[in-house]
Amino acid sequence: MVSKARHSITHALHRGEEWIFRNPKIVLSMVLIVTILFGLALPRLRIFTDFADLLPQNHAYIKVYNRLKENFGGANMIVMAVEVEQGTIFNDETLKLVHAATQGIDSLPGVNHNQVSSLTHRTARKVFIDDQGGFASQPYYDPMKPLHTAAELDQLRKDVVANPTMYGLLVSPDMKAALIKAQLNESSIDYPATFAALQKVRASLAAPGHHIYVTGNPVLTGWVYTYLNQIVEILAWTIALLATLLIVYFRRFYGIALPLLGIALSSVWGLGFMALTGINLEPLSLPIPFLIAARATSHGVQLVVRYYEELAIVRDGKRAARNALDALFRPGSLAIIVDAVGIAVLMLGAAPFNYKLGMAAGFWGFSVIFTVHFMVPLALTILPAPKKHENANQGVRNFLGKAMALTGGTEGGARSILILALIGALGGMYFVSKVQLGESEPGSPLLHRNHDYNISTRAINTRFPGSEELHVVARTDEKGGIKRPEVMAAIERFQAHMLADPALGGTKAIPGVVRVVNKLTHNDDPRWMQLPDNADETGGLMFAYMASSPIPGALKEFINADENEADIVFYYKDHQADTINRVVALAEEGIAKIQKEVPGLHIELGGGIIGVTAAANQALHTDHMIIIPAVMLIAFLIVMAYYSSLHAGWLMVLPMLFSTLLTYAYMGAMHIGLSVNTVPVIAVGVGVGIDYAVYFMDRIREEYAALRDIRQAVVNAVATTGYAVSFTAATLIAGVVMWIFMSDLRFQSDAAILLSFMLIVNAIAAMLIVPAWCVVFKPKFVTATQYDEDGVLEAA
């Protein structure tokens, strides 16, 4: 019954194929019309980074982050440091420079002016008791008074040291540097414009004896945007390299022009689809479209290679094109569908970025059926047949065949290949255990270690407690609940609990402010630097602090207007995976303990770059455990259904498992962490293995049906399809290799190396493991085959 159903489907497909070849101009016109429609949408395509797309929006931390970012600050913070070479910052020249930096940062596009902090900012004020016994305040720095006496500078230094919200956090403990911090409004971030304005501010601050450093997520993203022109240059060089490879390989016009036309058509379809659906191109994910385009080339190469093989036999251009599609339509379509579905699995990821990438790349991959798989053989039917019929590069084919005959073509050689593959996989397990979720080193792995951004990050983290912030919110059920003495004490206990981590550089929260103001009300007596024992007194001290400042929102960075949410900030020097895992575990332990002690108090994680990265890492772990196995499971099910054989499904997935395992081993050995950027690269690379394996498997079945000798079938498959696979691997590598040598973005360079490694391992696995397995185990779906009345190979 199953066999009859499969035969009827095969027969229907064959009739559809016949109609396509009877009407090549109609089909090609349809492809052209769709291409034009997609092409008209290309001007609407946008290249930009949407920070919210990178975050798992349903994660508990991100829900807290989204609720609090407008009041207490988000993860898009610019941090600038002004450092003096000699002496301290308490001199007129340096203070003037700090003030100029503060004004420059405050004037950047997209800055939230209520969330700018600096020693010289208008909200940085010294609070004191005036001669009438009332609270008063004055700015630490008055820009209208550019010159100060030595005594005034010394007093300023003492005032800063006396304020725990200034000393150590905005002025370095050694007093040689000052920080300027500014949050951006995430709803309207224009990274290129903000970064360009920031660079102008930085250039204007250049002064002898001083260093200016800038870090933060907007700065990192801004640096990435500066390389867009370089990306266009890499694209041009990549096309030139692919054309060169095609010229060297084919030395024939059709072999060069048609695969390149396939790249152009599939790219127009893919990019046009993104433009029509409003999906933006993420700069860091650009190697993936390059790889998809190169994969379109590989399918085109398979068709043109087979066309020239058939042409040498039948010496008729139209018949050769028909035979090529007859032989490759099913395995090629299977490979393309598995590719597309495997990429589309990215839509299961928690971050909107994964969903958009999966949708766009999945459609792009599937479009190859029309832009390459139909287009190439149909174009060959209407183009004049080549005058030269002989098969080029026959010497290389003969070499590959002889090499396989001496190794995998023998029973002992095939077993040796499988044993060596098993040993390699077991050895790779050691390095797989070293792969980390998240960043594996300080700074940003997106840029080279000696990049200005990473130099700035190291310099700031050397002088200060840390530029990486974790925001934790303390929330009470009732308004004004933060003023309760037990809540204030609980916040301090949580801070003390987190200080058990030696990597924590500092912390700030509302209890610290209340203690300082309480001391001021008692003649600056340090014995009164304590928390009041009732909510009314705490509220009075908070009101006194706010009333002392002529600037509204003096406590906005610490507490909300309803006084039922308070922000607790912790400072770290990096957001490596180890740091985040340790911090989150410690925080959750403290939260569970303190919430039990204080009814009605809720402590929630989620703010700052540490909080959102922790959420991304946790979601990434879940995504990773779903996406990669799902790619393999779907490949297994599709191939199994196609061949009606569990063995076939396993044999197709086997090289994928081997290459994926070695890929993770490579990542562990090279300290490349799993991130929202690397998981899509792996998912796309994993699917490449199925391309090679499907083409090999089908050629082995075809050769065995003719020869009835599994060893000779394997040798012939390697001599023919093996050569095409080796070249397609070269074209795929050519699609990303230029990133290694030309990209100043370290991540793109590392991703290109990773993809090249995966492509090479996939090709080796398909060329050795699949044939060797067939020789040793002689699977039934290979050996029990026959041609039906349509000349289609099917299971007997």
Tell me the DSSP string of 417-432.
HHHHHHHHHHHHHHHH
**According to the model, what pLDDT value does residue 737 have?**
81
Assign 3-class secondary structure to 623-678: HHHHHHHHHHHHHHHHHHHHHCCHHHHHHHHHHHHHHHHHHHHHHHHHCCCECCCH
pLDDT number for residue 182? 92
CB-CB contact of 709 with 390 (8 Å): no
| Cα-to-chain-centroid distance, residue 735 | 19
Q: What is the pLDDT of residue 628?
A: 82
Q: Tell me the pLDDT band of 795, cut-offs 50, 70 and 90.
A: low
**What is the Cα 32 distance to its own chain's centre?**
34
Neighbours of 168 (CB within 10 A): 18
What would the pLDDT profile of 41-85 be if each residue is shown by its tens digit?
Answer: 999 998 877 888 888 889 899 888 888 887 777 778 899 999 999
Residue 449 or 212, more confident = 212
338, 638 Cβ separation under 8 angstroms? yes
> Which residues make Cβ contacts (< 8 Å) with residue 376, sequence separation at least 6?
258, 259, 262, 300, 303, 304, 307
> What does the pLDDT look like over 102-141, one tens digit per residue?
999 999 998 988 889 999 988 888 877 777 777 777 888 8
Q: What pLDDT does residue 686 have? A: 74
> Counting every residue, how long is the chain?
796
Whole-angstrom distance, CA of residue 87 vs CA of residue 210: 11
**In whole angstroms, what is the distance from residue 684 CA to residue 342 CA?**
7
For residue 7, is pLDDT > 70?
A: no
The whole-number average pLDDT for the span 261-266 is: 90
Question: What average pLDDT does this structure show over 183-191?
Answer: 83
Q: What percent of the chain has pLDDT over 70?
A: 93
Report how far residue 258's alpha carbon sits from residue 382's, in angstroms, rounded to the nearest whole number.
Answer: 13
Residues 6+ apart with CB under 8 A from 706: none
pLDDT at 405: 66
| Helix ranges, 226-351 (H) | 228-250, 253-277, 287-314, 317-344
Distance CA 519, CA 642 (A): 79
For residue 243, the model assigns a pLDDT of 84
Identify which has the larger pLDDT, 728 or 570: 570
pLDDT > 60? residue 792:
no
Phi-psi map region of 255: left, alpha, beta (phi>0 left; psi -120 to 50 alpha)? alpha
* 392: pLDDT strictly greater than 60: no
Instruction: Check residues 135 and 324 and name the one with the higher pLDDT.
Output: 324
For residue 225 the two structure tokens come to 């945007």
pLDDT in tens, 556-598: 888 988 999 999 999 998 888 888 889 999 999 999 999 999 9
Around Cβ 706, how many Cβ atoms within 10 Å? 12
Asked if residue 786 has pLDDT above 80, the reply is: no
* CA 104 – CA 108 distance, rounded (Å): 7
Q: Tell me the C-alpha distance between 89 and 85, whole Å.
A: 9
The SS3 assignment for 181 reads strand
Handedness of CA 63, 66, 69, 72 (dihedral sign): negative
| DSSP run (H or E) holding 215 | strand 210-215
Pure H helices in 478-523? 485-498, 510-520
Please state the pTM of the whole predicted model: 0.80
